[in-house]
Structure 1
Amino acid sequence: MIKVGDCPTESNGKICARISELDSLRGVAALSVVIYHFTSIYPRLISGRNLEFVPQIHIGYFGVEIFFMISGFVIFHSVKSAASIHDFFLARFARIFPAYWLSILIVVALSIFTEKSSGFSSKDIFFNLTMLQALMGFHHLDEVYWTLTYELCFYACIVFAFCACRAAKLPIELALLIWLISETIIRANGIQIPYRFSLIFLLNYGQFFIIGIAFFLVYHKCSRPLTYIVLLWAIAMSAFGANPHTPASGFKAYFWIALACTCVFYWAVFLKPAAARFPVLIYLGRISYSLYLIHASIGYFMLREFDRIGIPDFLAVLLAIASAIVIAHFIHILVEVPGQRLLRSSFRRVQSNILAALHSA
């Protein structure tokens, strides 16, 4: 039996070649969320009026579910291939924080410029810098940050599950099955879970991360019958419906749309159609993290300005999308990538100094 940590397609813990189709999926997911926010959230919560000749693309919300599937696939691989759990967390810190900190600076700067900073306390800003604000009971400076809380909680959960299964020499699917059983009992019986616990244990969204993990095991030929049981169960979890505290709760066909997202993931990654290697989508996937972080703050600001000077709504939305992409591009090449390299090299240097000091002691 193949135990957790053993994968016939990997050797010496090295990371497999980058899967370009995953980048394309990231690009599709990021663009979907941007379009959803600009066409559906902006007119409803910001401008207070419907945009002329601009349809509301509500389905773009499901870019989030696709993001979570991708995270399940990619992060599980990162945990498996990391030299140590310590190295995994340092690598993730270097990956996600440089662009995130800049996005906070942009949000605060725009709020000051538009004289709308009264809602931000110094504590809100401080705890947002840690990315733990929701767990600490503080507001997100930008509401798009809510998914990052789920990402962090997923990191902690999958590391714990991976280490426990490896120590006990059990397949990772067993830990995933325990989560699915627990979640099914909670949701089937309508048990109310405190908000922080719902975040920590990935209530409403854990199944998407699990789908990604199961697809990883299938893709890398590490699957067993239990893998497919976990996969099908995770897919079925969406029949309980969406998180009632999000706009997705309005989707009566939530299960079918979530199933369609799962099929799109399978189609892109396993069947590798030419469309999934479209250069524009791959490019959007590469800058997707920066685009996701700044699109709302930048886009809403620009849409308000375009409205003020009388630019037609349809053109304003197109210009806002293009502007967000351009700004995300520069953040990616000037902050996200070099910041990641700088932090990683700094962590390696500190670790080397500590080891040298221990050897000389």
Structure 2
Amino acid sequence: MSTSETTLPKLSPGADATARTARSGAHAPRLRALDGLRLIAALMVAAYHYGGRDGEVSQAWGTSPKVQFPSLHQWFAYGCLGVQIFFVISGFVICMSGWGKPLRSFFASRASRLLPSYWAAVILVTAVFALPVVAYKAVSPSDALLNLTMLQQPLGVDRVLGVCWTLWAEVRFYALFALCVVLPGANRRRIVLFCAVWTLAAAITQASGEPALKVILMPEYAPYFIGGVGLYLLHLDRRDMTAWGIVLVSWLIGQHYAVAALWHAPNPHFFSYRGSGTIILIVTLGFVAVGAIALGLLNRANWRWLTVAGALTYPFYLVHEHLGWVTIEVLHRRLGLPSTVTFALTVAAMLTLAWLLNRFVEKPLAPFLRKRLNPTSARIH
């Protein structure tokens, strides 16, 4: 695709170097603060899965996490909002990575990023749950094989990874962005139109209650992705008032959906109580954090270890829940370690496993898969 004036908006003097390198095809400088924010969001979700809810994790602890963490469980319960922060980050990153790429290259980059660790996690969790000493039930062989496609959620089969529902949302976002923006060629006007049409269509879908449209347009998750896209437009030009409007509207709608999904009236019989004010605050902080990165306010957070943190986030997110249950049971119930020590060691063990997956699965397989899916790009580079 030829580069024209409309491919990128006119930059403000303070715009980030990411936009200045887009025309030349050079790699944009890595936003290391975004890597750190990814890991924070993943640790929030881990806190929720280990101590912020009942369910299978209660079996791992031997009692409810409410008993294990009498005070902290109330805060851990807010950790599920790390998913909303992930979606905002995803909107930002996908807009950045999809701008200027042909469809095949975009597909290859997404597939090579998601699939190697995902396949490894599905195989690993299935194998561990199949062990006789593990109390948790493995899915059937047929369902485990289907899980390798990432389509288990819409096809209604048992999930190997509990967190894969978020990947199904991500895949649908990728598809929408690819068809509406990447395929015809990304430019500011097209991206603004994409954000506006998706926002309005999602609201109409919510009002209509049409199930098929809800699956496609994801009204409850759309504002986070759209907000992230708007923040990338601000990354290109902080004076872009339309982009500010996209972010503001997305935040307003996003906090509504978060409160609607997670708030309930105080009830002593429930596991915990999430206050609407705190939910709004966490969603707001997620938008503000990505916004600060987009506007260059956190450019000084450029430490190399943040790149490592970002590399560990995805494999950690995939394996931490189910394999964390097994680790908690071993450390707490069999070895008798205190709850706080077990919690910390479980997080450390899952981060170590994530490093192994990154080192021995992602690093060798991602470039191989990208090259096979997009050989033309490999020859050019």
Range of TM-score over shorter length: 0.7 to 0.9
Q: Which residue of 1 aligns with 2:119?
A: 101
> Which residue number corresponds to residue 192 of structure 1?
209
- Which residue in 1 is equivalent to 2:341? 315
In structure 2, what is the equivalent of residue 260 of structure 1?
A: 285
Cα contact 1:23–1:285 (8 A) shared by 2: yes
| Equivalent runs, 1:108-187 vs 2, <5 Å | 108-113=126-131, 114=133, 120-163=139-182, 166=185, 170-187=189-206
Corresponding residue number in structure 2 for 1:87: 105
User: Structure 1 residues 33 and 278 mapped into 2: Cα distance closer, same or farther (>3 Å)?
Assistant: farther
1:344 aligned residue: 370
Aligned to 1:15: 27
Work out the CA distance in 2 between the residues paired with 1:328 and 1:147.
Answer: 18
**Partners in 1 of 2:232 and 2:167 — Cα distance?**
21
C-alpha distance in structure 2 between counterparts of 1:319 and 1:150, whole Å: 30
Does residue 325 in structure 1 map to residue 351 in structure 2? yes
Residue aligning to 1:359 = none
TM-score scaled by length of structure 2: 0.81
Q: 1:176 to 1:4 in 2, by over 3 A?
A: farther
Shift of 1:270: 2.5
What does residue 335 of structure 1 align with? 361
Q: Which amino acid aligns with 2:82?
A: G
Partner amino acid for 2:162? Answer: E
1:73/1:215 contact within 8 Å kept: yes
* Residues 57-81 of structure 1, C-alpha deviations (whole Å, 9 max, x = no match): 1222221111111111111122113
Name the CA distance, whole Å, in 2 between partners of 1:298 and 1:118: 13
SS of equivalent residue, structure 2 residue 258: coil
Aligned partners of 1:76 and 1:267: how far apart in 2?
17
TM-score by length of structure 1 reads 0.85
Aligned pairs (5 A) from 1:265-276: 265-273=290-298, 276=301
CA shift, 1:152, in A, is 0.6
Paired letter, 1:121: S
Stretch of structure 1 that moved more, 48-57 or 18-27: 48-57
Give SS of 2:91's match: helix
The code of the aligned residue for 2:164 comes to: Y
> 241, 251, 254: which one pairs with 2:257?
241
Q: Which amino acid aligns with 2:33?
A: E
After TM superposition, the structure 1 stretch with the greater mean CA deviation from structure 2, 40-49 or 279-288, is 40-49
Distance 1:231 1:85 in 2: 26
State the identity %: 25
- Judge conservation of contact 2:125–2:322 (CA < 8 Å) in 1: yes
- The answer to whether residue 53 in structure 2 is matched with residue 37 in structure 1 is no
210, 218, 237: which is aligned to 2:234? Answer: 218
Equivalents in 2 of 1:25, 1:146: separation in Å?
Answer: 21
- Residues 371 and 377 of structure 2 are in contact (CA less than 8 Å); yes or no, is this contact kept in structure 1? no
* Structure 2 gap ranges (5+): 12-19, 265-273
Aligned length: 348
Q: What CA distance in whole angstroms lies between the structure 2 residues aligned with 1:87 and 1:145?
A: 24
In structure 2, the residue matched to 1:228 is 244
Task: Give 1:229 shift.
Answer: 2.0
Given candidates 56, 59, 70, the residue that maps to 2:89 is 70
C-alpha displacement at 1:5, in angstroms?
Answer: 5.3
